[in-house]
Amino acid sequence: MSDRSRALESVSAEPGVVKPDPVLIVDSVSKSFGALRAVDVDHMEIQRGTITALIGPNGAGKTTLFNLLTGFDRPDQGTWTFDGQSLKSLGAHRIARTGMVRTFQLTKALTRMTVMDNMRLGAGNQNGESMTRAMIPSIWAAREREVTDQATELLHRFQLHHMRDEYAGTLSGGQRKLLELARLLMSKPRIAMLDEPMAGVNPALTESLLEHVKNLPNEGMTVMFVEHDMDVVMDISDWIVVMGQGRIIAEGRPHDVAQNQEVIDAYLGAHHEDTSVYDQGPVEIDHDLALRVAAGKTA
């Protein structure tokens, strides 16, 4: 058990449970699209310095919740705070400046810019972005060198340096995921919000991407991620939040969630005491396997 997992050892496995040191607190956040209540979260806390997975079947409201928390959509009601600061009235760019930075299910690399230029765009506090200051190289040149050095170090770390001068559009899907995560780190976030970071990544790059995500708390970051791959979720998560029909239906450590009947029901649709055709009585279900089957992953 890691030190960060140990902080959650005594926390009850129940929806909306209070955490010892929450960095993100969500209260009464809801969003409807017509008659559909896509998100209806009473209370949620994300423990500082941990990796928290947000899971649930398709249509559970996971990405919509991400969009609300990061300012890409507006809730019908509710409040949420990041490190004590209310984010309710802030737009996406201002939320990012607080240190809450996200990636997307579909990568947002600027395909007609080079890998290095994509990285440079991720850095903050660039004096050259001001029209007046851009006219005076002595003001922005030092910062540009710092940004380039930071980008170079990250590209080496993510094994993309050999493609630094290539257009981002020439990268494979997995390489674009690596680029997006590396670009996120250019802004030095305090919480990384990752929407399906492993989607579309081939097995050769999945392990590399996993290791990078695992290391983020060691650099002082909190991680919250949406993922359908249960092998990934069980491998790297300290805590799991489960959504169903817009609500949080369960929370807990990976082994708690794997044995939670309500979670199994949300994925597979009913209680799963399967009676054999030979009337031999109920058959015990391996809940962990059931979750993996429901997610289309049966390693």
- Residue 24's domain spans which residues? 3-109+189-294
Relative to beta strand 222-226, strand 239-244 is unpaired
Mean pLDDT of 230-240: 91
Residues 144 and 203 in one domain: no
Are residues 194 and 282 both part of a single domain? yes
Q: Is residue 178 part of a domain?
A: no
Based on the fold, state whether residues 8 and 152 are members of the same structural domain: no
In a domain, 182, yes or no: no
272-293 CB burial, b ≥16 within 10 A, e <16: beeeeeeeeeeeeeebbebbbe
Place of tokens 């994509």: 118
Residue 61 included in any domain:
yes
- For 20-46, the pLDDT digits (tens) are 999 999 999 999 999 999 999 999 999
- Please provide the average confidence, as pLDDT, over all residues in the chain: 83
Domain membership flag for residue 175: no
Going across the sheet that includes 191-195, the strands are 100-102, 191-195, 222-226, 51-55, 239-244, 247-252
* Threshold 0.95, pTM exceeds: no
Residue 12: DSSP 8-state: -
* Judgement on whether residues 93 and 193 belong to the same structural domain of the protein: yes
pLDDT in tens, 156-194: 998 899 999 999 889 988 888 889 989 999 989 999 999
Residues 135 and 226 in one domain: no
Domain identity same for 62 and 136:
no
Torsion sign, CA atoms 70, 150, 215, 183:
positive
Structure-token pair, residue 37: 């209540």
198, 229 contact by CB (below 8 A): yes
Band (216; pLDDT cuts 50, 70, 90) = very high
Residues 18 and 104 in one domain: yes
Do 120 and 236 share a structural domain?
Answer: no
Whether 176 is covered by a domain: the verdict is no
- pLDDT at residue 129, rounded to an integer: 52
Distance CA 253, CA 1 (A): 11
Among 143, 170, 197, where does a domain finish? 170
Judged against a pLDDT cut of 60, whether residue 286 lies above it is answered with: no
DSSP designation for 125: -
58 domain-assigned: yes
Confidence of residue 1 (pLDDT cuts 50, 70, 90): low
Are 99 and 154 contained in the same domain? no
Per-residue pLDDT reduced to its tens digit, 236-282: 999 999 999 999 999 999 989 988 888 888 776 644 444 333 344 44
Q: CA-to-CA distance for 70 and 64, rounded, in angstroms? A: 10
Task: Say if 57 falls within a structural domain.
Answer: yes
User: What CATH number is attached to the domain comprising 289?
Assistant: 3.40.50.300
Q: How far apart are the C-alpha atoms of 10 and 13, rounded to whole Å?
A: 9
Q: In total, how many domains does the chain have?
A: 2
Residue 18, token pair as written in the block: 């209070």
Which two three-digit tokens encode residue 298?
């049966």
3-state secondary structure of 137: helix
Instruction: Specify which residues 193 forms β-bridges with.
Output: 102, 224
207 confidence band (pLDDT: 50, 70, 90) = confident
What's residue 287's pLDDT? 54
Q: Are residues 205 and 65 both part of a single domain?
A: yes
Domain boundary among 139, 170, 201: 170
Q: What is the DSSP track for 24-76?
A: EEEEEEEEEETTEEEEEEEEEEEETTSEEEEE-STTSSHHHHHHHHTTSS--S
C-alpha to C-alpha distance for 292 and 194, rounded to whole angstroms: 20
- Over residues 118-143, the pLDDT tens digits come to 998 888 655 545 455 555 666 656 76
What's the average model confidence in pLDDT over 222-237? 91
Q: Which two tokens stand for residue 65?
A: 């919740």
Within a domain: 89: yes
Predicted pLDDT at 105? 73
160/254 same-domain check:
no
Do 229 and 292 meet the contact criterion of CB atoms below 8 Å apart?
no
Q: Answer yes or no: is pLDDT of 10 > 70.
A: yes
In terms of domains, do 88 and 158 share one? no
What pLDDT, on a 0 to 100 scale, did the predictor assign at position 291? 59
Asked whether the predicted pLDDT for residue 297 surpasses 70, the reply is no
Which of the four pLDDT bands, split at 50, 70 and 90, describes residue 15?
Answer: very high
- Flag whether pLDDT at 144 surpasses 90: no
* pLDDT tens by residue, 53-85: 999 988 899 999 999 999 999 999 999 999 999
88: number of CA atoms within 13 Å, CB side? 14
pLDDT score recorded for residue 262: 83
